[in-house]
Chains A and B, each alone.
Chain A
Amino acid sequence: NAGVTQTPKFQVLKTGQSMTLQCAQDMNHNSMYWYRQDPGMGLRLIYYSASEGTTDKGEVPNGYNVSRLNKREFSLRLESAAPSQTSVYFCASSAGTVYTQYFGPGTRLTVL
């Protein structure tokens, strides 16, 4: 049982490049989330998907788009990367939006 998986683990981009972070869960969870973690700030929610077919903005959605591809997969896209998006990105899932969230291992993204 892998839980929540994320790819890639590390990525370096140049300003203006685009990329997609992938997330998958094998726990049959309905809800999935994308967070970013910056030093001294804890985690902040970027986007979430309460259930398959729905997505909504979190606290810091600007510069990002998401796709809930199916129940298992939830991707995060940076269309034109900026240095301010240098961060560690975490995907999480939960059985429903009232339940405990379980996190993936994170992706460290550096934008030069």
Chain B
Amino acid sequence: AQTVTQSQPEMSVQEAETVTLSCTYDTSENNYYLFWYKQPPSRQMILVIRQEAYKQQNATENRFSVNFQKAAKSFSLKISDSQLGDTAMYFCAFMKPWLSGGYNKLIFGAGTRLAVHP
């Protein structure tokens, strides 16, 4: 069974600095998808970034980028130039495509609470 582990329950960073959130996962699959979702105090779950396992290039989205290490089963999120609005809970998630149809299960880690300080 697939599992997702976020080993940092809480992190803090100063505004404008860079922070990296860790995520590891366990799977025997070769093709899958990885996601980072952000949940601010408003509780809304917001997609930050998505990575397809078959792509060697790391995904980027403005100030957010990932370091995808497939062999190590590691998927860390780097936030550059941190802003106060980045304060949120961040969830790493794994999805194994079920190519023959049916549900592609989205498995979440327990989350990392990030606080950005002025």
A70 at the B interface (CB under 8 A): no
Q: Kindly state the interface size class of chain B when it binds its partner.
A: 20 to 34
Q: How many A-B residue pairs have CB under 8 A?
A: 56
How long is the Cα–Cα vector from A105 to B106 in the complex, in angstroms? 18
Contact code string B88-111 (vs A, CB < 8 Å = 1, else 0) = 000101010111011111101111
How long is the Cα–Cα vector from A100 to B46 in the complex, in angstroms? 11
Residues on A close to B: CB < 8 A? 33, 40-45, 48, 50, 56, 58, 88, 90, 92, 97-98, 100-103, 105-106, 108
Query: Taking CB as reference atom, which chain B residue is nearest A106?
Result: B43
Determine how close the nearest CB of chain B comes to the CB of A78; give it in whole angstroms. Answer: 20
Chain B interface main SS type: loop
User: Could you tell me if A42 and B91 are in contact, using CB atoms closer than 8 angstroms?
Assistant: yes
A42's partner among B33, B97, B102, B110 (CB-CB below 8 A) is B110
Residues on B close to A: CB < 8 A? 4, 33, 35, 37, 42-47, 50, 91, 93, 95, 97-99, 101-106, 108-111
